[in-house]
């Protein structure tokens, strides 16, 4: 299998949102496994995974089952997006213009950008806390700035450097978390490690949803990290390396958080519980997690910057963004997030999780529309030139079918929602379990397919002979 078109790819990425031509394609498909495995061995998924036992009061066994089910289901959607990268050669968000139109895609691009800025800010808070945990003399605000500067450099250098670091991180963090599991399980400090909590359907469903939504949250930018692979990389290879890396890495981190919390007294902050539960190797674990935050969070900065560039380029269509443009925007985002994170409340991470749950309500229908359009309707064939035209070319400024399916996909989720802004009647009836994402996917997917295939203008575009590229 040929998976590398170039062995002399520059370290500093020169492309931004533009099409990556064949001569600039490089890398190996196995890099996707290390990227998503290493990137998910980090404090934020550990903190999130602990919620199954902390907030939803599951015991260890049912917590692990819920975590695995959620990641295995959500990971399918995430990996299907990843498989689009080598076929399209462009970032995920700008590809959305082919489904929604050049202006119709703006809302989704904006939402994705806001979400990844939120991820970025939350992770630099965790970086500051981790650094403070390793070196008490370093205040959390100083740690935030130090962590942000490190990952800022990684994000500015770009795609290739991110992959290199995660290849290293997969081995270091993978070994580290296995050692951490071994230490915790041989030094359990509680008598109710296996008996604390119990099965409850609402808590189990909520934990499944949390794990699945963790995977779906990557959907708006996962193909950004596969778009440099040669176009002849098999779709199945891209899918499976992404799926296995992300599902395995995320599941390990989620379970690690649950185990650490159950092995320590009730009521402890998750990262404090990790430090206590890992005892003598606790400082080493915190160092590894700090390095992980810095490396992984570069993805959030990179994705946020590409989203912002896409927003600007929609209106300044003659602008050709360069590596310098990406660096300048990265610095602006970095400074703004540092300022916000330093002044953040103590419950910043909790507020962030709440924000993500709200934003995912509007991202789930986008996922359904994007996947149905790519795999079932266009079958990977798109006119790349039209995607970059101010009027959307053959895709137009708006696609009414996509926008209608999108609006209905949001509306049908409302009764099933459980967010800080609103709790739907169905969710309230099942003790707060949020199943909105399931309903959103099940309704939006067939609805969009039906609307799109009934539209005569859409069918004419499919047979116009202007489309390029194929699966």
* Euclidean distance between the first and the last CA atom of the chain, given in angstroms as a whole number: 16
In 3D space, the residue among 25, 32, 14 whose CA is nearest the CA of residue 222 turns out to be 32
Q: 207 near 52, Cβ under 8 Å?
A: yes
In 3D space, the residue among 278, 287, 273 whose CA is nearest the CA of residue 135 turns out to be 287
For residue 228, the Cα-to-chain-centroid distance in whole angstroms is: 18
In 3D space, the residue among 427, 256, 446, 431 whose CA is nearest the CA of residue 357 turns out to be 427
User: What beta strand segments (E) does 114-155 contain?
Assistant: none
pLDDT of residue 448: 95
Q: Which CATH superfamily hosts domain 22-350? A: Hydantoin permease (1.10.4160.10)
Continuous segment of H or E residues that includes residue 461: helix 456-462
Distance CA 4, CA 28 (A): 6
Distance CA 126, CA 146 (A): 12
Residues (pLDDT < 70) of the chain are 1-16, 150-163, 165-166, 295, 320, 323, 343-357, 455-471
pLDDT of residue 356: 66
Q: 265 near 108, Cβ under 8 Å?
A: no
pLDDT of residue 457: 57
Burial 208-221 (b: 16+ CB within 10 A, else e): bbbbbbbbbbbbbb
- Sign, CA torsion 330/331/335/338: positive
Q: For the chain, percent helix, then strand, then coil, each to nearest 5?
A: 70, 0, 30
pTM for this entry: 0.84
pLDDT of residue 59: 94
Contacts (Cβ under 8 Å, ≥6 apart) of 186: none
- With tokens 């649950």, the residue in question is 258
Other residues' Cβ atoms within 10 Å of the Cβ of residue 431: 14
Distance CA 322, CA 13 (A): 9
pLDDT of residue 388: 83
Q: 81 near 248, Cβ under 8 Å?
A: no
Where along the chain do its domains lie?
22-350
433 in helix, strand or coil? coil
- Residue 263 per-residue DSSP state: T
By residue count, the chain amounts to 471
Contacts (Cβ under 8 Å, ≥6 apart) of 69: 208, 211
Q: 467 near 380, Cβ under 8 Å?
A: no
- With tokens 């696609």, the residue in question is 399
pLDDT of residue 471: 42
Q: 279 near 311, Cβ under 8 Å?
A: no
What phi, psi does 382 have (nearest 5°)? -135, 155
Tokens for 236, please give them: 């199945």
In 3D space, the residue among 301, 342, 254, 311 whose CA is nearest the CA of residue 75 turns out to be 254
Continuous segment of H or E residues that includes residue 305: helix 282-315
In 3D space, the residue among 260, 290, 287 whose CA is nearest the CA of residue 272 turns out to be 260
Contacts (Cβ under 8 Å, ≥6 apart) of 55: none
pLDDT of residue 373: 93
For residue 326, the Cα-to-chain-centroid distance in whole angstroms is: 20
What phi, psi does 280 have (nearest 5°)? -60, -30
Tokens for 184, please give them: 């915790």
């Amino acid at each position: 299998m040929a998976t590398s078109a170039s062995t002399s790819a520059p370290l500093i990425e020169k492309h931004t949102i533009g099409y990556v031509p064949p001569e600039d394609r490089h890398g190996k498909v196995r890099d996707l496994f290390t990227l998503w495995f290493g990137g998910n061995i980090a404090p934020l998924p550990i903190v999130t995974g602990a919620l199954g036992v902390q907030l939803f009061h599951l015991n260890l066994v049912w917590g692990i089952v819920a975590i695995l089910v959620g990641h295995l289901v959500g990971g399918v959607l995430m990996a299907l997006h990843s498989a689009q990268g080598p076929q399209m050669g462009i970032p995920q968000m700008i590809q959305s213009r082919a489904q929604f139109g050049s202006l119709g895609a703006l809302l989704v691009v904006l939402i994705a950008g806001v979400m990844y800025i939120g991820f970025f800010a939350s992770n630099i808070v965790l970086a500051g806390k981790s650094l403070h945990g390793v070196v008490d003399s370093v205040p959390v605000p100083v740690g935030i700035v130090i962590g942000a500067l490190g990952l800022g450099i990684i994000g500015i250098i770009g795609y290739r450097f991110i992959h290199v670091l995660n290849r290293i991180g997969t081995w270091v963090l993978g070994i580290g978390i296995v050692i951490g599991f071994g230490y915790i399980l041989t030094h359990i400090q509680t008598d109710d490690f296996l008996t604390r909590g119990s099965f409850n359907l609402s808590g189990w469903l909520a934990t499944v949803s949390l794990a699945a939504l963790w995977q779906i949250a990557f959907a708006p930018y996962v193909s950004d990290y596969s778009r440099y692979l040669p176009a002849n990389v098999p779709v199945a290879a891209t899918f499976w390396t992404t799926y296995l890396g992300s599902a395995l890495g995320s599941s390990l981190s989620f379970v690690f958080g649950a185990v650490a919390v159950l092995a320590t007294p009730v009521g402890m902050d998750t990262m404090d519980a990790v430090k206590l539960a890992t005892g003598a190797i606790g400082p080493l674990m915190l160092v590894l997690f700090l390095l992980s935050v810095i490396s992984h969070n570069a993805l959030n900065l990179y994705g946020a910057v590409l989203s912002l560039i896409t927003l600007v380029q929609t209106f300044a269509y003659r602008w050709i963004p360069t590596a310098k443009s990406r660096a300048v925007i990265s610095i602006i985002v970095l400074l703004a997030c540092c300022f916000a994170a330093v002044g953040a409340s103590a419950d910043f991470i909790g507020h962030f999780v709440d924000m993500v749950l709200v934003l995912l309500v509007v991202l789930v229908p986008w996922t359904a529309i994007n996947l149905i359009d790519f795999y079932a309707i266009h079958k990977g064939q798109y006119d790349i030139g039209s995607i970059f035209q101010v009027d959307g070319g053959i895709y137009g400024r708006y696609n009414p079918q996509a926008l209608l399916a999108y609006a209905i996909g949001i509306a049908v989720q409302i009764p099933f929602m459980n967010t800080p802004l609103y709790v739907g009647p169905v969710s309230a009836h099942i003790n707060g379990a949020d199943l909105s994402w399931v309903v959103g996917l099940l309704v939006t997917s067939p609805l969009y397919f039906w609307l799109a295939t009934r539209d005569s203008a859409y069918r004419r575009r499919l047979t116009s002979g202007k489309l390029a590229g194929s699966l």
